Chain A
């Protein structure tokens, strides 16, 4: 089996390396690009500075003092090379505006309380004009030098040593060697460039490998040959990794050499700086998992797409997200931590920065590599799944995703594309309108958010499309048996989810102001039943209508299991709260299961209300003596509660499954 992977791999590599386009962008371009960019840029810079120097300029002097000192300042200004000094006439401002003179120096004086006469020079210049800027630098340097000379003379005249001027001096002792300095410079922008290069290199190849085969009608031939689909996927996957790593290595070396050349030319002290070979090797090791992750994701995009053009389109979001995440290396004061180390792209970017200044922890390197590999395995597994899905591998040219198709066919309204559009709009409304409402008044804002943003759009859409709301939202009375089991699901689930939050809190402590904000939710100025309405009942009804009633319908074509998980993910993301993502996801999945299994949304509403109410009750009763048994501290539950909770939840879910058996799950 592995030998066939190798056969596929060798053939793909050969084919890719024969493609002039790929060769040019992945191999030749980086070799040429950086030297040309950096060295060329450097040369032009030096030349342009020379041009400015030669061009010089004219300075007009307005001397309103006209004594020995002011005249000396003026006369010394006229000593500057390539600068012409003229006395200011009446038309001086119009000359300045027409750029005939680059700067106007005005000299004034004042006498302070001790009787000392002081001189003030005003330098008028245009910071947005290169010539004027250049002149400003020269003029202000010259005035400082004149000032220095004047003070020295005055001191000697009074019999004081001019050395008094240097009573305290400042000398730098930089402990960063030139190696580290170069590392810091490289660490700022290299990660960004490298991540983008890696993705760009991989995407060219990936689009060609499956979508390209579809387009050229070679895929069927390959599938009927003696090779298994898994071997095809892995062979192609290794090809992408190889090409993108090759691309990366060439980029890295080309950029390092050019950088070094440029730095040494620009006068920075780089005498001792060596090529950070060791750092580069560590980085390549760290980039490898990212390369495999990109390869897997891009391959799945390529498999999903009908042709190469489509594949390139679907690659764009990945590119955008990667660029934004990679930019983290530009931000100051963001450092590597265990949390950062599990976020893909960000982890590599920060690790890169740390490695370049030789200040990194092996544990971060390991977490980065492992977390990326886990995602990678998931992605490649998904690709193999896709490769075994006939509907995807041989997608016909219908356009169920396009806007035209939706308008044409009302019955087809519930498709994933529409679902995403609807969800995005709701999310934006929540983010802007919802937070605005809640700032005005928390309790009223929460209720309005539930009614206006979450529930009402659902009802409006159903009404305007003349759909059967009862059927779509599963507004069907539940059986009594089901309702009786719900508390045994909702309460243990609430306990497990709370405990999970506590665990997450101990690993990655929630920020202080976040806890304060969350606590505010339970300390609203309302009677208990009021809080219960705001926190438990309103979300129980409205959020269920939106997520388990409406949104889940858009993803039904992926099957029951996938639509349950997808709706859970959307539900969790809707809370705009990374700290509670996993707990909310679990809740969402359970609620979606309850709805689809029983065919009645009321089960989920009931469960949701109990869950939210549970937290409220714990917070309210926490101080009561009998609660000591369950609660430690202000509001954290004892961990032993997990055991009965899991047992009861498992039993209740089993019972629910049983009493709902034989019913139609999805209508």
Chain B
């Protein structure tokens, strides 16, 4: 459902050189699978996800979401994609149902379908008490629920979560985690990014490790454990980072 091929994203730096935020990354994520994009801050996770969700255009390479190319069919990509990040803002002056309706309409959904989906989701996430409230009066947890409904109102087959628990309290974060699991249970393809190893360990079917824009390793946890001879994901990650740095040192000596 998600296939990324040789993705590169360059940003010009002020001193005239080029900064490679994403440097030749390829990976895949299938139906009913949770793939975790794991890396420290600044590794290129957000940039990768912004490219996948058509906010950025890649400098080279491409990606497909449910078979639609992000470059040639961005509109189709967005229709098949739900996007959620931890620090998303909401339109405070709208009421909850107005907010969800707005995004439903932007996905060209018929009013009756929007209403029905909204009712279902409100029931499921226990939101009926505040559907008529203005968003500015909601608590953080309530707001996060609104964001969740917004991201899946059009029932997309692919979900992308960019650091979904960043900045959230434990209880709200748990809600998000269980929501991600439920997405998998309903057969969706899920890509989520985090720098928290525990979260990746608990959720991911497969892990894609990136560091300084480059792909470090890819595989299921068991595969990675077998290759590196480590049990803890922390140690596996450090192992790979050291490997890259080590290689660089060798290269530096050769000059």
Q: How many A-B pairs with Cβ below 8 Å?
A: 76
The interface size of chain A toward B, counting residues with CB under 8 Å, comes to: 29
0/1 per residue, A394-414, Cβ < 8 Å to B?
100010100000000101100
Are A220's CB and B91's CB within 8 A? no
Are A7's CB and B54's CB within 8 A? no
**B94 CB contacts on chain A under 8 angstroms:** 11, 14-15, 18
Could you say which of B11, B15, B55, B75 contacts A228, with CB atoms under 8 Å apart? B75
Are B107's CB and A221's CB within 8 A? no
Could you say which of B55, B57, B91 contacts A15, with CB atoms under 8 Å apart? B91
B97 contacts the other chain (CB 8 A): no
Q: Which of B76-84, B186-194, B222-230 contacts A (4 or more CB under 8 A)?
A: B76-84
A479 contacts the other chain (CB 8 A): no
Knowing A15-B91, A224-B54, say if A7 contacts B105 (CB, 8 Å): yes
0/1 per residue, A375-419, Cβ < 8 Å to B?
000000000000000110010001010000000010110000000
Could you say which of A7, A226, A400 contacts B79, with CB atoms under 8 Å apart? A226
0/1 per residue, B56-89, Cβ < 8 Å to A?
1100000000000000000100110101010111
Give min CB distance, A128 to chain B, whole Å: 53
User: A220–B56 Cα gap in the complex (Å)?
Assistant: 10
B93 contacts the other chain (CB 8 A): yes
B173 contacts the other chain (CB 8 A): no
Of chain A, the residue at the smallest CB distance from B54 is A224
A19 contacts the other chain (CB 8 A): yes
User: A341–B85 Cα gap in the complex (Å)?
Assistant: 51
0/1 per residue, A205-243, Cβ < 8 Å to B?
000000001001110110111111000000000000000
A181 contacts the other chain (CB 8 A): no
Give min CB distance, A338 to chain B, whole Å: 45
Of chain B, the residue at the smallest CB distance from A405 is B14
Are B150's CB and A224's CB within 8 A? no
**B145 CB contacts on chain A under 8 angstroms:** none
Could you say which of B50, B57, B75 contacts A226, with CB atoms under 8 Å apart? B75
Could you say which of B56, B90, B98, B106 contacts A225, with CB atoms under 8 Å apart? B106
> Which has the most chain B C-beta neighbours within 10 Å: A19, A224, A226?
A224
B214 contacts the other chain (CB 8 A): no
Are B93's CB and A225's CB within 8 A? no
**A180 CB contacts on chain B under 8 angstroms:** none
**A409 CB contacts on chain B under 8 angstroms:** 14
Are A412's CB and B107's CB within 8 A? no
**A398 CB contacts on chain B under 8 angstroms:** 14
B240 contacts the other chain (CB 8 A): no
**B88 CB contacts on chain A under 8 angstroms:** 217-218, 220-221
Could you say which of A3, A226, A394 contacts B154, with CB atoms under 8 Å apart? A226
0/1 per residue, B108-129, Cβ < 8 Å to A?
1000000000000000000000
Of chain B, the residue at the smallest CB distance from A557 is B12
A4 contacts the other chain (CB 8 A): yes
Are B106's CB and A224's CB within 8 A? no
Are B14's CB and A224's CB within 8 A? no
Give min CB distance, B146 to chain A, whole Å: 11
Of chain A, the residue at the smallest CB distance from B83 is A224
Knowing A14-B94, A15-B94, A217-B87, say if A400 contacts B14 (CB, 8 Å): yes
Of chain B, the residue at the smallest CB distance from A388 is B57
User: A400–B15 Cα gap in the complex (Å)?
Assistant: 11
**A18 CB contacts on chain B under 8 angstroms:** 93-94
> Which has the most chain A C-beta neighbours within 10 Å: B75, B81, B105?
B105
Are A218's CB and B89's CB within 8 A? yes
Give min CB distance, A489 to chain B, whole Å: 31
Are A412's CB and B15's CB within 8 A? yes
**B102 CB contacts on chain A under 8 angstroms:** 7, 11
Knowing A7-B105, A15-B93, A217-B87, say if A224 contacts B98 (CB, 8 Å): no
User: A223–B57 Cα gap in the complex (Å)?
Assistant: 13
**A224 CB contacts on chain B under 8 angstroms:** 53-55, 78, 81, 83
Are B89's CB and A221's CB within 8 A? yes
Are B150's CB and A221's CB within 8 A? yes
B103 contacts the other chain (CB 8 A): yes
Are B53's CB and A411's CB within 8 A? no
Are A216's CB and B81's CB within 8 A? no
User: A45–B56 Cα gap in the complex (Å)?
Assistant: 63
**A4 CB contacts on chain B under 8 angstroms:** 105-106, 108
Of chain B, the residue at the smallest CB distance from A15 is B93
User: A11–B99 Cα gap in the complex (Å)?
Assistant: 9
**A227 CB contacts on chain B under 8 angstroms:** 106
Are A390's CB and B89's CB within 8 A? no
Are B55's CB and A220's CB within 8 A? yes
**B90 CB contacts on chain A under 8 angstroms:** 216, 218
Are B75's CB and A19's CB within 8 A? no
Give min CB distance, A658 to chain B, whole Å: 29
Could you say which of B83, B92, B98 contacts A221, with CB atoms under 8 Å apart? B83
Are B55's CB and A226's CB within 8 A? no
Are A411's CB and B15's CB within 8 A? yes
0/1 per residue, A417-459, Cβ < 8 Å to B?
0000000000000000000000000000000000000000000
Knowing A14-B98, A217-B89, A220-B85, say if A225 contacts B14 (CB, 8 Å): no
**A7 CB contacts on chain B under 8 angstroms:** 102, 105-106
Of chain A, the residue at the smallest CB distance from B99 is A11
Are A390's CB and B81's CB within 8 A? no
0/1 per residue, A1-35, Cβ < 8 Å to B?
00110011001001100110000000000000000
**B91 CB contacts on chain A under 8 angstroms:** 11, 15, 218
Of chain A, the residue at the smallest CB distance from B107 is A226
**B16 CB contacts on chain A under 8 angstroms:** 411
**A8 CB contacts on chain B under 8 angstroms:** 106
Give min CB distance, A228 to chain B, whole Å: 7
**A217 CB contacts on chain B under 8 angstroms:** 87-89
User: A225–B55 Cα gap in the complex (Å)?
Assistant: 10
Give min CB distance, A204 to chain B, whole Å: 14
Give min CB distance, A391 to chain B, whole Å: 8
**B75 CB contacts on chain A under 8 angstroms:** 226, 228
**A221 CB contacts on chain B under 8 angstroms:** 83, 88-89, 150
Of chain A, the residue at the smallest CB distance from B11 is A391
User: A421–B201 Cα gap in the complex (Å)?
Assistant: 55
0/1 per residue, B135-155, Cβ < 8 Å to A?
000000000000000100010
**B92 CB contacts on chain A under 8 angstroms:** 216
Knowing A14-B98, A15-B93, A412-B14, say if A225 contacts B103 (CB, 8 Å): yes
User: A9–B92 Cα gap in the complex (Å)?
Assistant: 17
Knowing A218-B88, A220-B55, say if A225 contacts B107 (CB, 8 Å): yes
**B81 CB contacts on chain A under 8 angstroms:** 224
Give min CB distance, A620 to chain B, whole Å: 48
**A218 CB contacts on chain B under 8 angstroms:** 88-91
Are B79's CB and A216's CB within 8 A? no
**B53 CB contacts on chain A under 8 angstroms:** 223-224
User: A217–B94 Cα gap in the complex (Å)?
Assistant: 15
**A228 CB contacts on chain B under 8 angstroms:** 75
User: A631–B169 Cα gap in the complex (Å)?
Assistant: 83
User: A398–B103 Cα gap in the complex (Å)?
Assistant: 32
The interface of chain A, by Cβ under 8 A from chain B, is 3-4, 7-8, 11, 14-15, 18-19, 213, 216-218, 220-221, 223-228, 390-391, 394, 398, 400, 409, 411-412
Known: A217-B89, A221-B83. 19 other contacts (CB 8 A): A3-B108, A4-B105, A4-B108, A7-B102, A7-B105, A11-B94, A11-B98, A14-B94, A15-B94, A19-B93, A217-B88, A221-B88, A221-B89, A224-B78, A225-B78, A225-B103, A226-B75, A226-B103, A391-B11
Q: For the complex of A and B, list the 5 residue pairs with the smallest distance between their C-beta atoms, beginning with the closest.
A: A217-B89, A226-B107, A216-B89, A218-B89, A224-B83
The interface of chain B, by Cβ under 8 A from chain A, is 11, 14-16, 50, 53-57, 75, 78-79, 81, 83, 85, 87-94, 98, 102-103, 105-108, 150, 154
Chain A to chain B contacts (Cβ below 8 Å), 24 pairs: A4-B105, A4-B106, A7-B105, A7-B106, A11-B91, A11-B94, A11-B102, A15-B91, A18-B93, A19-B93, A217-B88, A218-B88, A218-B90, A220-B83, A221-B88, A221-B150, A225-B103, A226-B79, A226-B106, A227-B106, A228-B75, A398-B14, A409-B14, A411-B16
